[in-house]
């Protein structure tokens, strides 16, 4: 009876924000009937901008350290590069949004074509945006840690247990993908695909995990290549 009432009317934004952490299935059931995009979209942008605002000095310092390891750059080139870092908040917000829109399209294809479900892009986009709200507790945990350590290189994954010598290698970057908040988002993504597309949770979980396993393996060598010292 409760599931019917949830699906019969749209949940307001504040209830969706709370619900994604305490009752995500009910939130996705509401989204399936009444997809809402704008509120979650603006909230995600705000979270990204606020977190980056507080971390801007740390980001600049990390970039300054990285640039010092590039002997081919002149001092003027380094100063120009650091000035560009100051507009990071805009690029971070736009970049994260691009990822959300791409993921929504990928999940839509998998849900409808591979898993035999039925949904549309707006509904899937709404679901992915609400999964992205995990950025709220993630920022609450990460930002103070990064400020305390004076670096953005803070890991909440098994990579944190590696020795300092291994920090820049492939294994470190592979393990760093298994961040607790990333795993949380993967679990929510599987539930979202299952509920909004009407497919079994087991099939959705296997498919979503397979996609992220491929992405993890692809991202690890890229990250180790472009990280200073890697």
pLDDT digits (tens, 9 = 90+) for 99-157: 899 999 999 999 999 999 999 999 999 999 999 999 999 999 999 999 998 888 887 76
Question: Collapsing DSSP states into helix, strand and coil, what is residue 227?
Answer: coil
Q: Which long-range contacts (CB under 8 A, 24 or more apart) does 84-87 make?
A: 85/56, 85/59, 85/60, 86/56, 86/60
Provide the residue range defining the domain that includes 103: 2-226
Q: What is the CA radius of gyration of the chain?
A: 19
N-terminal to C-terminal alpha carbon distance within the chain: 55
Q: Structure tokens of 106?
A: 């990928």
Q: How many domains does the chain fold into?
A: 1
Residue 168 scores a pLDDT above 80:
no
Dump pLDDT digits (tens) for 17-39. Answer: 999 999 999 999 999 999 999 99
């Amino acid at each position: 009876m409760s599931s019917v009432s949830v699906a019969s009317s749209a949940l307001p934004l504040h209830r969706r924000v709370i619900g994604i952490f305490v009752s995500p299935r009910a939130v996705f059931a509401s989204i399936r009937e009444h997809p809402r995009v704008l509120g979650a979209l603006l909230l995600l942008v705000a979270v990204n901008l606020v977190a980056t605002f507080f971390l801007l000095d740390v980001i600049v310092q990390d970039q300054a350290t990285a640039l010092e390891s590039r002997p081919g750059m002149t001092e003027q080139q380094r100063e120009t590069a650091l000035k560009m870092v100051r507009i990071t908040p805009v690029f971070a917000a736009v970049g994260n949004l691009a990822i959300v829109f791409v993921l929504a399209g990928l999940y839509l294809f998998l849900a409808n074509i591979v898993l035999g479900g039925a949904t549309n892009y707006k509904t899937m986009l709404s679901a992915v945006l609400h999964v992205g709200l995990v950025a709220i507790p993630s920022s609450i945990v990460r930002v103070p840690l990064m400020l305390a350590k004076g670096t953005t290189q803070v890991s909440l994954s098994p990579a944190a247990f590696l020795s300092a010598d291994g920090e820049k290698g492939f294994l470190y970057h592979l393990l760093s993908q298994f961040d607790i908040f990333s795993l949380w988002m993967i679990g929510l993504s599987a539930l979202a695909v299952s509920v909004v597309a009407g497919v079994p949770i087991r099939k959705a979980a296997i498919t979503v995990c397979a996609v992220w396993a491929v992405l993890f393996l692809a991202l690890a060598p890229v990250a180790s290549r472009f990280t200073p010292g890697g």
